[in-house]
Amino acid sequence: DADVTQTPRNRITKTGKRIMLECSQTKGHDRMYWYRQDPGLGLRLIYYSFDVKDINKGEISDGYSVSRQAQAKFSLSLESAIPNQTALYFCATSDRGALNNQPQHFGDGTRLSIL
């Protein structure tokens, strides 16, 4: 079983719909992240959470919200989806570490298409 699991893997929906992408991890990591990947733009950070009561905006948080339901779960919501939110979304986790130098471990991604 994957250590970082994203559901769904693929989703096609219509403009204006509310969408939730879920991420769960079995790695026991404190830190979780949501990124989106667009061609030619690499990965951009949407939100991140260093523990259950900690939520922080990333580079491109507008139009998104998150919920850290438990240490192992971090969900991303699009309140009213729009076509330019079509992208590949990744969840990642990392251990706290002594020097904040831990690698991030990624899920397999969710391909979201908004028509």
- Interface residues with another protein (CB under 8 A) are 31, 33, 35, 40-45, 48, 50, 58, 88, 90, 92, 94, 97, 99-109
Q: Which is nearer to another protein, 76 or 107 (CB)?
A: 107
| 93 close to 86: Cβ distance less than 8 angstroms | no
The Cα 81–Cα 68 span in angstroms is 21
Residues 6+ apart with CB under 8 A from 41: none
Q: Which is nearer to another protein, 78 or 92 (CB)?
A: 92
What pairs with residue 78 in β-bridges?
19, 64
Could you tell me the smallest distance in angstroms from the CB atom of residue 60 to another protein? Answer: 12
Could you tell me the smallest distance in angstroms from the CB atom of residue 80 to another protein? Answer: 27
Could you tell me the smallest distance in angstroms from the CB atom of residue 44 to another protein? Answer: 8
The Cα 62–Cα 51 span in angstroms is 21
